[in-house]
Structure 1
Amino acid sequence: MHADKFSTLEEGIYLLNHSVGRPPVSAYQQVQAGFIEPWKTLTNDLWSRWIEEIDEFRKATALLLNASWQDVCPQTNLSGALSKLLPALPHTSGRNVIVYNEQDFPSMGFVLNQAQRTGFQLRCIPTDSDPLDLQVWDDRLDSSCACVLVTHVQSNTSVQVDVAGICALAKKSGVIPIVDIAQSVGVTEIDLSQWDADFVLGSCVKWLCGGPGAAFLWANPDIIEQCQPTDVGWFSHADPFEFDIHDFRYAEGVLRFWGGTPSVIPYVVAANSIKLIAQIGVDQVRRHNLALNQRLLDSLPEKVAICPVLPELRGGTAVLNFGQQQSTVEQNLLDAGVHFDSRPTGLRLSPHIYNNNAEIDVVTETILGCLKH
């Protein structure tokens, strides 16, 4: 389904979409039109043209999330965005605790660890706690907390948490919710108006098939004017082309988090891919992904599923652990030409809109062949 719109592999079964999505076939042409040709032909107005391309990225991202594009700021990656965000948050005396989950992506945890150098303290929800239980979050959100990092879909387990519920608990306690949607955007429908988050961080390299280097920070307009980032550059300025070294003024809104000279190509590529995913429909991507994963899970013993069996609690990835047979299963899948990866929790298989039933059946037959021995 829609395989003709993406550069899929000539051989093998690609199920690494939780890591890097396949590029649209139109990506190369879009880079030529949106980056190379303006570079070849324009002079003084080149940056204006490139900023238009980046604005297309902001608009495409906002449309996907039911948000205003003026509230979307381009970023390079999520950890970089979080590094900019934490020291810029409005400070309230007595609030210096950051709540996070041990199953958050390690790169985000690294940023949180460094934040302790600036006075923050960390409060971790351990792996053996159930992130689907709102009481687990409520027990850790109190008047000492500055913010909470909420990972919409966990990369190691594919657990999809109740973001709206957690944000409501955070707001009740005066805590700033920061939501990581790297593993969910493009494969689950997201409506930011339903979450009441203060900040949302995402990237395009996975389910959005936009390649690395194009990430984004969405900020709630109700809080953004209270934020004073120190990691700034000329594109964080109210008038980037004013060029007065003695006069820095924050850009209005979220663009104060932009920084110095931006890359352009990643956003040209990503804007094109986001528009393609939107044209197909995230709802259709979601239905297709759920159907293929369910086809896989229904064919295997339930005990091997590390990911939630209930589809409404699961992201886009099937996470499977076969115990003592794990290495045998992994080797046989590799021999069958299946592209996947493994984490301590289990092997990860992530079908996208360009995968099909026949590919999932190869995976299932390969696994079952191992389990019979």
Structure 2
Amino acid sequence: MRRVERVEFSGLWDPEPGWLNTASYGLPPRPAWEALQAALSDWRVGATSWEPWDESTTRSRESFARLVGADAADVFVGSTVSAALAPIATALPDGAKVLTDDVEFTSNVFPWKVQEDRGVEVVGVPGEELVAAIRPGIDLVAVSAVQSSTGVVLDLPTVIAASKEIGALVVIDGSQAVGWLPLTVDGIDALVVHTYKWLMSPRGATLGYLSPRLQELCRPSAAGWYAGADVHTSYYGTRMDLAPGARKFDQSPSWFCYVGAAPALELVEQIGVETIQQHNLALANEFRDGLGLPPSNSAIVSTSLAGAQEAFASAGIRAAVRDGKLRASFHLYTTPADVHQALAALKPLQ
């Protein structure tokens, strides 16, 4: 797909000024919004069958695969990160040891924790100690590519190298990364991404990569009609013919979520993740500079500035508070004016 210049994509959103909260949810680009409205209109009057909506699931799968350098045959669809990770957690042997960051979002913690009754142990360490903690005895490293609360970007190549040295599986939650941070599945055993943040899709469309190794190890315990080799002959009866590859791990998709997801993911492809990264980091670092903070490699800025939450609320700026700190996040529809408005609101506190 050709790259699109900033002047071409800047008019695809209509945000109210002051939206600095993509780390909570992204705003839909116009093609995604219009596709969703059209599908809802058809649904309201029964104008079509469901198959045209489901074509968006295939488009989403293929677009995601291209974005992360995967084969579409190794990509599955679902609705939540935690449900997508459940088959992997169930496949762990009794007594397995899982390593994670001690501030990891719980969607990548609870699926492992609920296995503790059979001896699975979950160990959390501070992010800066994670690589050193990858040593013999660790069976799986489960961590986010970008941390939700702090915005810290994982040193993924180093984590992969350390994990492979001891034979540990690498399971990455890319929900706060894919869409603005270039990454591929090379060396990763599982990459699961909810698309409603940086991929600007409706909540309910989750996509994931499973390595061929994990596809063999895991049981598709949530298999239903949509995991069949031919979904149209999998509606009834006791005969089961599951799809090859990762599609056997598909959960029946929420159609309208994928109707919105497909054009949003394809737009990210068109613009280019590197272009998005450059735009996001420029604004995030302008904001950091205005607060007297050093530059960073993250589109998420976390600050403990006292009174910041109240100052933002008074100025009409929408951000989030996570782990007691103000969290601001910057994406395609964020403008320099948004940054200046945010800094003006915080200036009396500095």
Query: With structure 1 as the length reference, what TM-score do the two structures score?
Result: 0.84
Partner of 1:339: helix, strand, or coil?
coil
**Equivalent in the alignment of 2:128:** 130
Equivalent position to 1:299, from 275, 287, 290: 290
Q: Is 1:161 the counterpart of 2:159 in the alignment? A: no
Code of the residue aligned with 1:343 in structure 2: it is: R
Q: Is the 8 A contact 1:186 1:207 kept in 2?
A: yes
| Residues 28-107 of structure 1: pairs in structure 2 closer than 5 A | 28-33=33-38, 37=42, 40-42=46-48, 46-47=50-51, 49-88=52-91, 91=93, 96-107=96-107
Tell me the SS of whatever aligns to 2:261.
helix
Counterpart among 154, 161, 165 of residue 172 in structure 1: 165
The equivalent of 2:3 in structure 1 is none
Q: Retained in 2: the 8 A contact 1:95–1:145? A: no
Verify the 8 A CA contact 1:296 1:360 in the aligned structure 2: yes
Alignment match of 1:236 (pick from 216, 227, 244): 227
The worse-fitting range, judged by mean Cα deviation, of 197-206 and 32-41 is 32-41
CA displacement at 1:21 relative to structure 2: 0.7
> In 2, are the aligned partners of 1:151 and 1:180 still within 8 Å (CA)?
yes
Q: Establish whether residue 269 from structure 1 lines up as the match of residue 260 from structure 2.
A: yes
Match of 2:28 among 5, 23, 27: 23
1:300 Cα shift? 1.8
Unaligned 5+ runs, structure 2: 1-5
- Contact residue 108 and residue 173 of structure 2 kept, 8 A: no
Matched with 1:188 is 181
Quote the Cα distance in structure 1 between the aligned partners of 2:106 and 2:236.
39
SS in 2 for 1:190: coil
SS of residue in 2 equivalent to 1:13 = coil
Is residue 5 of structure 1 aligned with residue 12 of structure 2?
A: yes
Tell me by how many angstroms 1:249 deviates: 4.0
- The alignment-based identity, stated in percent, is 25
Cα displacement (A) at 1:3: 3.6
1:210 to 192, 201, 217: 201
Secondary structure in 2 matching 1:98: strand
Consecutive unaligned residues in structure 1, runs of 5 or more: 303-308
Hey, what's the Cα distance between the residues in 1 that align with 2:337 and 2:33?
Answer: 29
Contact 2:201/2:261 (<8 A) preserved: yes
* RMSD of aligned Cα (Å): 2.3
Cα deviation for residue 248 of structure 1 reads 2.7
Cα distance in 2, alignment partners of residues 146 and 249 from structure 1: 32
Question: Cα offset for 1:35?
Answer: 6.7
Amino acid of the structure 1 residue aligned with 2:131: L
State the 1:156 CA deviation: 1.1
Q: Is the 8 A contact 1:74 1:214 kept in 2?
A: yes
The answer as to whether partners of 2:74 and 2:212 remain within 8 angstroms in 1 is yes
> Does residue 1:342 correspond to 2:349, yes or no?
no
Tell me by how many angstroms 1:191 deviates.
Answer: 2.1
**Correspondence 1:253 to 2:251:** no
The whole-number CA distance in structure 1 between the counterparts of 2:83 and 2:320 is 25
Structure 2: distance between partners of 1:4 and 1:120: 50
The alpha carbon displacement at 1:36 in A equals 5.3
How far apart are residue 343 of structure 1 and its match? 1.7
- What one-letter code is carried by the residue in structure 1 that aligns with 2:326? L
Contact 1:157–1:345 (8 Å) recurs in 2: no
Q: Is the 8 A contact 2:234 2:240 kept in 1?
A: no
Report Cα offsets for 1:265-301 as digits up to 9, x if no partner: 1111011111112212211111111111111111223
Secondary structure (helix, strand or coil) at the match of 2:258 reads helix
> 1:95 & 1:58 partners in 2: Cα distance?
34
Shift of 1:225: 2.5
Separation in 1, partners of 2:107, 2:143 = 14
Q: Which residue of 2 aligns with 1:320?
A: 303
CA distance in 2, matches of 1:352, 1:300: 19
Shift, 1:145, TM fit: 3.2
List per-residue Cα deviations over 1:58-96 (Å, max 9, x = no partner).
Answer: 01111111221121111101111112331135x4xx761
Decide which moves more: 147-156 or 77-86.
77-86
- Shift in Å, 1:345: 4.5
Alignment coverage as a number of residue pairs:
341
Per-residue deviation at 1:16? 0.4
Task: Give, in whole Å, the separation in 1 of the partners of 2:234 and 2:19.
Answer: 48
- For normalisation by structure 2, the TM-score amounts to 0.89
